[in-house]
Chains A and B, each alone.
Chain A
């Protein structure tokens, strides 16, 4: 073990108590974001410029769940593309033309960079510019990177949204203040939030990404940005560069988190505390009622979170404060201190946070701690179950509507179900 530690892992426990590790990372790359983004933006298509591995990854992570024709595909690079026998740009143009001829309903095309396209330095931004001109005005072509050497899982969404920011129209100079909610949410959750914002008196609300590429929200100095997801560092920076101002808030997970998130927005729009309280109290009470049942099942149970999507910290805050679970370790691929500034102080004192990963050592810690519930990726779940641990797939937390008051109970239920199942089974 010691020899192993010396040989491989780079571990440091910094003064802030965060365990930083650098070893094998058992995480998806940013391409995986295409799985939900291609459904969210209904007239967008995602063309990965990559290898067979990229195509296989997206298909394996999502393919079996999709029954309609997907709005994503891969331009698979082959030997002759690499050997310079053909001009990769000509090839790409040919494929895009083929694709757009087949799918005339596509209005927005993302060229998505991958590990191989990054390594051979294929310039997709120039390709996007060239193709945009060629297919304008019918189709707009943008690019971003979802490569594993640069992005982890949900960072793919960040890169995609950041690529959208430069093409958002500018708001009129004397536009009234607007709220931009950033981060892909389920349609039903968006609609709920829209109603609640209206009840609070904020009616100039837009969402990024929009459901259709023709509905790109206008932004400007009067735009206040409210992040719905904690993994949007680049997008937030790009919006700030366009003059938008970010509202710092916890994330809308659970009754408490949602109330604080909405209240922060209301505060920025000068809504009176009393009105906020009056509007949110009944909603929060309903969420608490939904949570009570699960709290009874889950309070005191020990949970271990492997790094996956960067929502681990808000999630841990919810599990600890609203459900009463005990946090054994909270892993996250990256700790974005700035965006989590409102979250971190809400975690119980002494919570073990880990950033980065050395999966073997983390598994050692997990086995030793024997938590009641392990939140982890699909590659680890069944093997841990076979070892007698109970697991919850983390990917479900990204593919399920969990934000907002009305979903607080659903979110808790995701954690309760594996434990409930254990008590039911007698085989």
Chain B
């Protein structure tokens, strides 16, 4: 058992729903008790979809457990087929139905419906949402693409014909998938490459049958589409992209990689390409961004990409990097090694909270969970990854990928911070009463107020009981802007402890300042 206050991912059948809901003419019959229908609201409320997810739940109750849950599944599948007339049906179980072992896939196949029926085995007590999405997408691609092409190698492109690719990965309830897709599509079309199929987003089963007709695949989200792309590679010899176009540098790398796979020249597109990020980052006001200590947590793809943008394109210092996705722990470990930091691989929200409060970063780039943590600790935060919240589906165009995505990153990561000159004025004129800790701030309500934790035992670095602060030193500490005060206090105490100083005076404070630098 695992104690969980918040979860980063839902169970694997939610992942399957994200695939089914993204597609058209697919129906998912889910063997599940009543209550599991809550999942519909993720799509209709959080993502504001205007249609119900294409899911029929058997909603069995205790009284059904005696024996007829299997009949219930079959009648639900038959009724769903008759009512919705899908081109293909997914059949699976949620956590409770897994325990009663009805074999929903076999039961549905026994109905001999005139459409492909794809059984899904998603072990709910071992796996989670992203794995469920990946496995579902792989199963559906395998079932539908294989049947059409009989395992034959991919078609030969006629001389002079335009290169063709598929775009794989965007799902329902994905973090900015809608806008990433638009941005990447624009980029690919500009390279003179034709898009054969986008999947699962808006794809029909018939579209999936056409997947083998492309020359290569673009994988936008490895968490969702890597397994399917690897299978397509083995089966049809289609290579796939490995670069994720988040940030200016990665977008340029991505364009080169795609152009290479397509056999076209990337240079004309690269020379025209424009993002405001490089100039904004070089403009003098951004000097204050230098070395800002940032903590990054999310799915592996977004976290690794964010770390690169943070260091190379904004000049931040990455002090923490982690993911909740154990399947992609290797990628995070490799990236963390680059920055010389300890990776954090956990889906335990409390551990993430402990790490953030220990590191005291100046900016948190995380999920909605880290937004909670950052809010409580009074640290600015921007959201970079799933799990999503209604705010992560903005009305405006707001991709993370491509050159426009880089502009979005600059704005959304920099705006929570204090502006350059503001920060200096605050530093110089601490005693202006309107600069007081509880004065209105860009960071929202009372940023410096101590986190309101009801008698929580917060995991903190233990300070030696011997250490005391002289009152003038303590007063001086309050003149330091609140967003660096915690760091100044800890550095000073460390400095004192290392030198066996028991009373921290004004002199100790400034000695420590000189020792550590900013």
Interface residues of A (CB under 8 A from B): 3-4, 7-9, 23-32, 49, 51-53, 55-57, 59-61, 63-64, 67-70, 73-79, 81-82, 88, 91-92, 94-95, 98-99, 101-105, 115-116, 118-120, 147-150, 152, 360, 377-383, 385-386
Known contacts being A78-B1, A91-B1, is A149 close to B96, with CB within 8 Å?
yes
Chain B residues within 8 Å of A79, by CB: 123, 125-126
Known contacts being A52-B7, A76-B4, A149-B62, is A7 close to B78, with CB within 8 Å?
yes
Interface membership of B38, Cβ < 8 A: yes
Interface membership of B503, Cβ < 8 A: no
Interface membership of B390, Cβ < 8 A: yes
Interface centre among B56, B61, B126 (most CB of A within 10 A): B61
Which residue on B lies nearest to A48, using beta carbons?
B4
The 3 closest A-B pairs by CB, nearest first: A29-B35, A148-B35, A379-B40
**How distant is the Cα of A40 from the Cα of B39 in the complex, in angstroms?**
26
**How distant is the Cα of A363 from the Cα of B45 in the complex, in angstroms?**
18
CB within 8 Å of A: which of B374-393? Answer: 375, 389-390
B455 adjacent to A75 (CB under 8 Å): no
**How distant is the Cα of A104 from the Cα of B458 in the complex, in angstroms?**
12
**How distant is the Cα of A378 from the Cα of B58 in the complex, in angstroms?**
19
Known contacts being A60-B42, A116-B96, is A51 close to B125, with CB within 8 Å?
yes
**How distant is the Cα of A32 from the Cα of B11 in the complex, in angstroms?**
17
Interface membership of B44, Cβ < 8 A: yes
B37 adjacent to A25 (CB under 8 Å): yes
A379 adjacent to B41 (CB under 8 Å): yes
A51 adjacent to B48 (CB under 8 Å): no
Interface centre among B6, B389, B452 (most CB of A within 10 A): B6
Interface membership of B60, Cβ < 8 A: yes
Known contacts being A68-B454, A95-B1, is A52 close to B35, with CB within 8 Å?
no
Shortest CB-to-CB span from A48 to chain B, Å, is: 9
Chain B residues within 8 Å of A152, by CB: 34-35
A382 adjacent to B14 (CB under 8 Å): no
Interface membership of B124, Cβ < 8 A: yes
Known contacts being A25-B34, A27-B35, A120-B99, is A73 close to B4, with CB within 8 Å?
yes
Chain A residues within 8 Å of B1, by CB: 49, 75-78, 81, 88, 91-92, 94-95
Which residue on B lies nearest to A153, using beta carbons?
B35
A378 adjacent to B452 (CB under 8 Å): no
Interface membership of B206, Cβ < 8 A: no
Known contacts being A27-B37, A69-B456, A102-B457, is A149 close to B65, with CB within 8 Å?
yes
Interface membership of B150, Cβ < 8 A: no
Which residue on B lies nearest to A81, using beta carbons?
B1
Interface membership of B33, Cβ < 8 A: yes
Interface membership of B396, Cβ < 8 A: no
A99 adjacent to B3 (CB under 8 Å): yes
Known contacts being A24-B37, A64-B389, A115-B33, is A378 close to B6, with CB within 8 Å?
no
Chain A residues within 8 Å of B9, by CB: 52
B5 adjacent to A4 (CB under 8 Å): no
B5 adjacent to A73 (CB under 8 Å): yes
A82 adjacent to B99 (CB under 8 Å): yes
Interface residues of B (CB under 8 A from A): 1-7, 9-11, 13-14, 33-42, 44-46, 48-52, 56-62, 65, 75-76, 78-79, 82-83, 94-96, 99-100, 123-126, 128, 350, 368, 372, 375, 389-390, 452-457
Known contacts being A8-B76, A118-B62, is A63 close to B6, with CB within 8 Å?
yes
A56 adjacent to B456 (CB under 8 Å): no
Chain B residues within 8 Å of A60, by CB: 10, 38-39, 41-42, 46
Chain B residues within 8 Å of A383, by CB: 44, 49-52
**How distant is the Cα of A57 from the Cα of B40 in the complex, in angstroms?**
11
Chain A residues within 8 Å of B10, by CB: 52-53, 56, 60
Shortest CB-to-CB span from B379 to chain A, Å, is: 16
**How distant is the Cα of A25 from the Cα of B36 in the complex, in angstroms?**
10
B4 adjacent to A382 (CB under 8 Å): no
Partner of B457, one of A59, A104, A119, A380: A104
Which residue on A lies nearest to B5, using beta carbons?
A73
Shortest CB-to-CB span from B224 to chain A, Å, is: 18
**How distant is the Cα of A322 from the Cα of B126 in the complex, in angstroms?**
53
Known contacts being A56-B10, A78-B2, is A379 close to B37, with CB within 8 Å?
yes
Shortest CB-to-CB span from B49 to chain A, Å, is: 7
Shortest CB-to-CB span from B325 to chain A, Å, is: 14
Interface centre among A94, A98, A115 (most CB of B within 10 A): A115
Chain B residues within 8 Å of A8, by CB: 75-76, 78-79
B76 adjacent to A24 (CB under 8 Å): yes
B75 adjacent to A379 (CB under 8 Å): no
Partner of B7, one of A59, A70, A360: A59
**How distant is the Cα of A92 from the Cα of B455 in the complex, in angstroms?**
23
Shortest CB-to-CB span from A296 to chain B, Å, is: 31
Chain B residues within 8 Å of A26, by CB: 37, 40
Chain B residues within 8 Å of A82, by CB: 99, 125
Partner of B48, one of A94, A103, A382: A382
**How distant is the Cα of A63 from the Cα of B388 in the complex, in angstroms?**
12
Partner of A57, one of B5, B35, B51, B58: B35
A25 adjacent to B79 (CB under 8 Å): no
**How distant is the Cα of A31 from the Cα of B6 in the complex, in angstroms?**
15
Known contacts being A69-B453, A69-B456, A76-B1, is A29 close to B34, with CB within 8 Å?
yes
**How distant is the Cα of A166 from the Cα of B22 in the complex, in angstroms?**
49
Can you list 29 pairs linking A and B with CB atoms under 8 Å apart?
A27-B37, A28-B37, A31-B35, A32-B35, A52-B11, A53-B13, A53-B96, A56-B10, A60-B38, A61-B41, A68-B454, A69-B453, A73-B4, A74-B4, A76-B4, A82-B99, A104-B457, A115-B35, A116-B99, A148-B59, A148-B96, A149-B61, A150-B62, A378-B45, A380-B44, A380-B52, A382-B44, A383-B52, A385-B50
Chain A residues within 8 Å of B57, by CB: 24
Chain A residues within 8 Å of B48, by CB: 382
A148 adjacent to B33 (CB under 8 Å): yes
Chain B residues within 8 Å of A67, by CB: 372, 375
**How distant is the Cα of A95 from the Cα of B46 in the complex, in angstroms?**
31
Shortest CB-to-CB span from B373 to chain A, Å, is: 11
**How distant is the Cα of A148 from the Cα of B38 in the complex, in angstroms?**
11
B62 adjacent to A95 (CB under 8 Å): no
**How distant is the Cα of A377 from the Cα of B35 in the complex, in angstroms?**
12
Chain B residues within 8 Å of A24, by CB: 37, 56-59, 76
**How distant is the Cα of A345 from the Cα of B415 in the complex, in angstroms?**
60
B82 adjacent to A7 (CB under 8 Å): yes
**How distant is the Cα of A388 from the Cα of B37 in the complex, in angstroms?**
23
B124 adjacent to A382 (CB under 8 Å): no
Which residue on A lies nearest to B48, using beta carbons?
A382
Chain A residues within 8 Å of B44, by CB: 378-383
Chain B residues within 8 Å of A57, by CB: 35-36, 38
A75 adjacent to B2 (CB under 8 Å): yes
B50 adjacent to A382 (CB under 8 Å): yes
A51 adjacent to B65 (CB under 8 Å): no
Interface centre among B33, B60, B372, B457 (most CB of A within 10 A): B33
Chain B residues within 8 Å of A105, by CB: 454-455
Chain B residues within 8 Å of A32, by CB: 35, 38
B3 adjacent to A98 (CB under 8 Å): yes
**How distant is the Cα of A76 from the Cα of B126 in the complex, in angstroms?**
11
**How distant is the Cα of A424 from the Cα of B60 in the complex, in angstroms?**
42
Shortest CB-to-CB span from B127 to chain A, Å, is: 9
B59 adjacent to A61 (CB under 8 Å): no
Which residue on B lies nearest to A101, using beta carbons?
B457
**How distant is the Cα of A4 from the Cα of B62 in the complex, in angstroms?**
24
Partner of A59, one of B6, B49, B62, B126: B6
B75 adjacent to A102 (CB under 8 Å): no
Chain A residues within 8 Å of B453, by CB: 69
B452 adjacent to A68 (CB under 8 Å): yes
Shortest CB-to-CB span from A37 to chain B, Å, is: 16
Chain A residues within 8 Å of B35, by CB: 27-32, 57, 115, 147-148, 152
Shortest CB-to-CB span from B394 to chain A, Å, is: 16
B41 adjacent to A378 (CB under 8 Å): yes
**How distant is the Cα of A294 from the Cα of B50 in the complex, in angstroms?**
29
Chain A residues within 8 Å of B34, by CB: 25, 27, 29, 148-149, 152
